[in-house]
Structure 1
Amino acid sequence: MGPPSDLTRRDLLTSGAAAAAMVALPQAAQAKGGVMRSDPLDDHDALGLAKLVRDKAVSPAELLDIAVARAEASNPRFNFMAQKLYDSGKKAIADGLPRGPFQGVPLLVKDLNTHIAGERSGQGSRFYADYRPDYTSELVRRHQAAGFVIFGKTTTPEFGLTGTTESLATGLTRNPWNPDHIAGGSSGGSAAAIAAGVVPLAHASDGGGSIRIPASCCGLFGLKPSRGRVPMGPKRTEGWGGLSTHHAISRTVRDSAAMLDATHGVEIGSRYGAPTPDGSFLSQVTKAPGKLRVALMLDTPGGTPVDPECAAAARAAAKLLESLGHYVEEASPKVNAQAIGMANFATISSALAADIEDRAKLTGIAPSPDVLEKVTLIFLQYSKNFKAIDAVRASNIYQETAIALGQFMTSYDIILSPTMAMPPVKLGRLDMMPADFEKWGQDASAFTPWTGLFNVSGQPSMSMPLAMSAGGLPIGVMMTGRYGDETTLLRLAGQVERAAPWFDKRPA
């Protein structure tokens, strides 16, 4: 089954069986006589909450109060809030919300390159401790137009540089399934907030797996859209040379699809844009995908090992797809992992250095261990060795890789693989203060060997929560489509979600 059907106000008021297990709710969420009503954040995805608002079964203010209470109750343990914008959320409601598809639904946005005029944008770094942009990101404007109530920003590692959300600026973000383990990165704060039950949907971004990794770690659905699908401006329309894109992590496939409907489309100045689909993304979720040709990719591009539990999760997903009528065979595209790694290092180091040097000139604060973490400083140092020709060579590698993947996918509709090569690791293993940088790089690459491949090619790619480790931690399975073809992915995701539902699988 999918997300529970929408309840009436009477249902909400009379169902109090789970009251004792709920996080303490504000006065607004209680009925007269002290009887606690069922919490809509437990029972509904974001579209379900929006329907409750339209039906006047609950108000936006009530939903915000509940979300804030939950954030206050769980954040001390899991640490996913980078900025608290509670008053801003209340003001948005008081000023009147647009009649969008998510009217009244509380939303958290990631605190990395996603700006709200006048509010602090920390970037996960002490170097940006007092940064308050004077403009609002185009994507945030589209969130607001959709009716979302933004009430906070979520944690991220410094500049999104690693697969765990641990930083000296905001501390350790913990996995609600097991607080000793990572929530993933770099959108780990968003994933942890959803897994903790604070919101059903949160903004996220992905430059090398940063939507799919935390979705996998926290047992959620995470879709990285095609390059150029979602706006990144207004100051810039791409990040990390086109590697990065924005979207969301969610409990349900339909929320992700509806969010894409609300936010996609070319913005002013874009150098490229993904092809517009025929019909809405949301309408695809309930459509049959047809019989798809699926390549099961179990080998990592660089030949690094794969944990047996992650490989087993992908094989089980392959059997599920076969049972749904799809054709699956083991096959892997041939790419040069070493060349891609060097291209990524040159691109990301150079982009990072440009931003840091510009901020240093603006503020007079010198880049140093007092304001930047060890990995960032090493990236900054290495950037000085790169020349303009290295940027051209990196771009050439990206194009060659995209062509190789495109040619491979003339024979397949979907590439199926594990999302990560191992279950969520313990905190401290991938943070940005390592004793040995070379080993850190090897560990980071071995942890997520597949995700970054599809940032290079720009293809849409999604992680689905289809397995659990013996230790009780989520294991995601990744499915990737052709460039611009979110339609096929969303049809397949909807079919898989109906066949193997996960909405009610949550941390204790």
Structure 2
Amino acid sequence: MPTDPQTTDTDSPASWPRRSVLKAGAVAVGAGLLGRFASAASAGLSANDYQGLDAWAMAEAVRAGSLSGEELLAAALARCALVNPKVAAVNMLHEDYARTLLSQRRSAGNSAQGALAGVPILLKDLNTYLQGTSTSNGCRLFRDAPQATFTSTLIARYEQAGAVPFGKTTCPEFGLTTTTESLLWGQTRNPWNLAMSAGGSSGGAAAAVAAGIVPVAHATDGGGSIRIPASYCGLVGLKPSRYRTPSGPAHYEGWFGASVGNVVSRSVRDTALFLDAGQGHEPGSAYWSAPLARPYVEELRREPGKLRVAVVRQSLTGAPLDAAVAATLEQTIKQLLGLGHEIEELQLAIDPRELFGAHGTVIGTALLNLVHEREQALGRTATPQDLEQITQVVLKRAQAVNGVGMYQARQSFERIGAAMERPFERFDVILSPVTANLTPALGQLSLDQHWDSYAQRAMGSAGFTVLANVSGQPAISLPLGQSDSGLPVGMLFTARLGAEDVLLRLASQLEQDRPWAARRAVL
């Protein structure tokens, strides 16, 4: 496998800025990239053409021979050099890895093969590994983490389908909050309004797609971390069913299955395309998801039929809806009725204290274990200079959890999962907002503040999303609205366990009825 010589085990903190396109060196690097992009443009791919293509169209063009993976990579790097200094979405470039991968494919005669042939992608810098490169988890404690000796199964599947990873995107420390801000990498900005958050924890991925660096970016979701950034950045964000996509080989289960991997994208068909490429049982894993009736891309050609849609208006945290969120919910209900679906109000019988208590216990103990492993590798104890304020509180609380507490949290996951299957005896889909509020200003949800201030401000951000993580059900955010100030507003659709096909058919219908592709952030 190709490796990136820019990232080595022995790099010192002084050499770290060379890895990051957030730093001053990005401008000088960008000049060279723009020169290479000019050559690609003369061959037929302009900057506007590149941004107008989704991953589906890119792969089709590569297979047809009208574009090459090298041209697409050059365009992606050029766009990154141009806009990343503004949004700070990409924190590591692995250009050598990508070029070596493309060279190997060309030598083997398979450079134009696969469902994702030649598509440039970015990987989330959190618990995801690319052989020969480092993963920082957004944390100073992992600043000089060793290069990975393997590639995560999900990313390897994307590569096998033809995708070309060329860098990593920012996340908050350990993915612990719904914004993407860290003391290690700084603030990731929303391309729709640079003073606002891109969401979290996959905010770097969402900002990169919304800014046109890539059409699709890898993302993970343990409490809303795909759906919230997708909503804030005007994208499609599907959290798959528990165990639909692989989490190994480092760990076969994330947070008792609450955390799963997938992508954020601009189009429904790209989400289906990548889910087809990534889904399926992972050898060595004890966990399975329901088998598919047919590939997800084929589901897009099927009508969803008349669906029974339940509407949930109230966040489990009790946070009131912003006026733009409430208006988008009403517009979505009207759109669904106009398409022939049935609508009924629903009150969820879920105890929020049990939900958030169990979720917090699992996250905290998993984090405690990860930090202990890193401390053992470093031969020292983590200090306050290694970890942000909220992270330190989470770790302190986790130290009080015993085996009984973990067992009880697992039982809560099971009870909530069973309770959330009952509404689907009557309904096909549950509709709700993704978040109660619009995207917040930068700084409001960062981890470097007092716990009480953070908790109060976080009330509106994950009150709708965490439930599907604990219950394991698939849920998708769709960009169905916009505030008066121009900020995107997503709506959340949840289906029974294993029913991604229902969500994708409905999402495709909504996209065709009121297309959102023309709505783009302008940088």
**Local SS of the residue matching 1:309:** helix
Tell me which of 208, 211, 214 is aligned to 1:193. Answer: 208
- Asked if 1:485 is matched to 2:485, the reply is no
Deviations 1:36-78 (A, max 9, x none): 8464322211010111111211111111001001001111110
**Structure 1 position 113, deviation (Å):** 0.8
Correspondence for 1:429: 444
* Whole-angstrom CA distance in 1 between matches of 2:516 and 2:36: 25
Q: Normalising by structure 2, report the TM-score.
A: 0.90
Tell me which of 28, 51, 57 is aligned to 1:48. Answer: 57
Q: CA, structure 1 residues 36+257, in 2 after alignment: closer, same or farther (shift >3 Å)?
A: closer
**Local SS of the residue matching 2:263:** strand
* Whole-angstrom CA distance in 1 between matches of 2:36 and 2:152: 32
**1:31 alignment partner AA:** S
Correspondence for 1:68: 77
Deviations 1:120-149 (A, max 9, x none): 101111111111222211111101101011
* Whole-angstrom CA distance in 2 between matches of 1:60 and 1:408: 46
Deviations 1:190-244 (A, max 9, x none): 1000111111111000000000000001000000000010000012111112110
- Asked if 1:114 is matched to 2:133, the reply is no
* Whole-angstrom CA distance in 2 between matches of 1:36 and 1:100: 21
Contact 2:65-2:112 within 8 A present in 1 as well: no
**1:30 alignment partner AA:** A
- Asked if 1:167 is matched to 2:182, the reply is yes
Tell me which of 104, 127, 135 is aligned to 2:118. Answer: 104
Contact 2:122-2:218 within 8 A present in 1 as well: yes
**Structure 1 position 364, deviation (Å):** 1.7
Deviations 1:449-476 (A, max 9, x none): 1100000000000000010111111010
Q: Within 5 A, what are the aligned runs for 1:432-447?
A: 432-435=447-450, 437-447=451-461
- Asked if 1:398 is matched to 2:413, the reply is yes
Contact 2:311-2:343 within 8 A present in 1 as well: yes
Q: CA, structure 1 residues 92+423, in 2 after alignment: closer, same or farther (shift >3 Å)?
A: same
Correspondence for 1:95: 104
Deviates more, 1:262-271 or 1:91-100: 91-100
* Whole-angstrom CA distance in 2 between matches of 1:207 and 1:36: 37
* Whole-angstrom CA distance in 2 between matches of 1:116 and 1:351: 22
Contact 2:62-2:112 within 8 A present in 1 as well: no
Q: How many pairs does the alignment contain? A: 483
Structure 2 alignment gaps of length 5 or more: 1-33, 106-110
Deviates more, 1:158-167 or 1:124-133: 124-133
Correspondence for 1:458: 472
Q: Normalising by structure 1, report the TM-score.
A: 0.93
- Asked if 1:259 is matched to 2:270, the reply is no
Q: CA, structure 1 residues 241+31, in 2 after alignment: closer, same or farther (shift >3 Å)?
A: same
Contact 2:45-2:71 within 8 A present in 1 as well: no
* Whole-angstrom CA distance in 2 between matches of 1:329 and 1:301: 19
**Structure 1 position 98, deviation (Å):** 7.1
**Structure 1 position 28, deviation (Å):** 2.2
Correspondence for 2:21: none
Deviations 1:283-316 (A, max 9, x none): 1112100100000100112322221221221121
Contact 1:211-1:223 within 8 A present in 2 as well: yes
**1:103 alignment partner AA:** A
- Asked if 1:28 is matched to 2:39, the reply is yes
Correspondence for 2:194: 179
Contact 1:297-1:416 within 8 A present in 2 as well: yes
Correspondence for 1:7: none
Contact 1:368-1:377 within 8 A present in 2 as well: no
**1:212 alignment partner AA:** R
* Whole-angstrom CA distance in 2 between matches of 1:441 and 1:89: 41
- Asked if 1:219 is matched to 2:228, the reply is no
**Local SS of the residue matching 2:195:** strand
Tell me which of 251, 257, 260 is aligned to 1:242. Answer: 257
Contact 2:47-2:75 within 8 A present in 1 as well: no
Deviates more, 1:396-405 or 1:71-80: 396-405
**Structure 1 position 177, deviation (Å):** 0.2
Tell me which of 256, 261, 274 is aligned to 2:289. Answer: 274
Contact 2:221-2:259 within 8 A present in 1 as well: yes
* Whole-angstrom CA distance in 2 between matches of 1:59 and 1:36: 10
Correspondence for 2:140: 126
Correspondence for 1:78: 87
**Structure 1 position 24, deviation (Å):** 8.1
Deviations 1:132-189 (A, max 9, x none): 2222111111011010111001000000000000001111000000000000000000
Aligned-pair identity in percent equals: 40
Contact 2:175-2:200 within 8 A present in 1 as well: yes
**Structure 1 position 408, deviation (Å):** 1.6
Correspondence for 2:516: 502
**Structure 1 position 83, deviation (Å):** 1.1
- Asked if 1:415 is matched to 2:430, the reply is yes
* Whole-angstrom CA distance in 1 between matches of 2:395 and 2:285: 28
Structure 1 alignment gaps of length 5 or more: 1-22
Q: CA, structure 1 residues 36+199, in 2 after alignment: closer, same or farther (shift >3 Å)?
A: closer
* Whole-angstrom CA distance in 2 between matches of 1:188 and 1:116: 20
* Whole-angstrom CA distance in 2 between matches of 1:115 and 1:38: 30
**1:367 alignment partner AA:** A
* Whole-angstrom CA distance in 2 between matches of 1:305 and 1:448: 13
Q: CA, structure 1 residues 447+36, in 2 after alignment: closer, same or farther (shift >3 Å)?
A: closer
Correspondence for 1:475: 489
Q: Within 5 A, what are the aligned runs for 1:14-25?
A: none
Q: CA, structure 1 residues 332+271, in 2 after alignment: closer, same or farther (shift >3 Å)?
A: farther
Deviations 1:416-459 (A, max 9, x none): 00111011010000000113x02312322322211000000000
**1:497 alignment partner AA:** E
Q: Within 5 A, what are the aligned runs for 1:207-356?
A: 207-356=222-371
Contact 1:41-1:198 within 8 A present in 2 as well: no
* Whole-angstrom CA distance in 2 between matches of 1:412 and 1:353: 39
Tell me which of 155, 161, 164 is aligned to 1:146. Answer: 161
**1:292 alignment partner AA:** L
RMSD: 1.4
Correspondence for 1:57: 66
